[in-house]
Amino acid sequence: MVKFIIILALIFYVLPKLIKWALKGFIVTQVNKVQQDMRQQQQTYPHQRREGEIDVDYNPKNKGKKPESFGGDYVDYEEVK
């Protein structure tokens, strides 16, 4: 009978604590691994834009060149009733 009580105590008291300790260690290692991967990815692609960020490039006008013609004649708009 004493063996049975000791085994029950191990199952209901010690085993859950061991499982909790093992899972906590596993989760901590996985989180650290993901953090390290994210740091490495940020170092690889440092110029990635965030959502909503705007980047404007300056394009100077062509000096001395004629603007490109798209062809065709200008036709006045007439409203038909």
Q: How far is CA 19 from the centre of its chain?
A: 32
Q: What is the pLDDT of residue 65?
A: 61
Q: Which two tokens stand for residue 64?
A: 């001395």
pTM (two decimals): 0.44
**Residue 27's pLDDT is what?**
96
Q: How high is the pLDDT of residue 32? A: 96
pLDDT of residue 73: 75
Q: Distance (Å, rounded) from C-alpha 57 to C-alpha 8?
A: 72
Task: State which residues of the chain have pLDDT below 70.
Answer: 46-49, 62-71
**Contact of 55 with 49, CB cutoff 8 Å:** yes
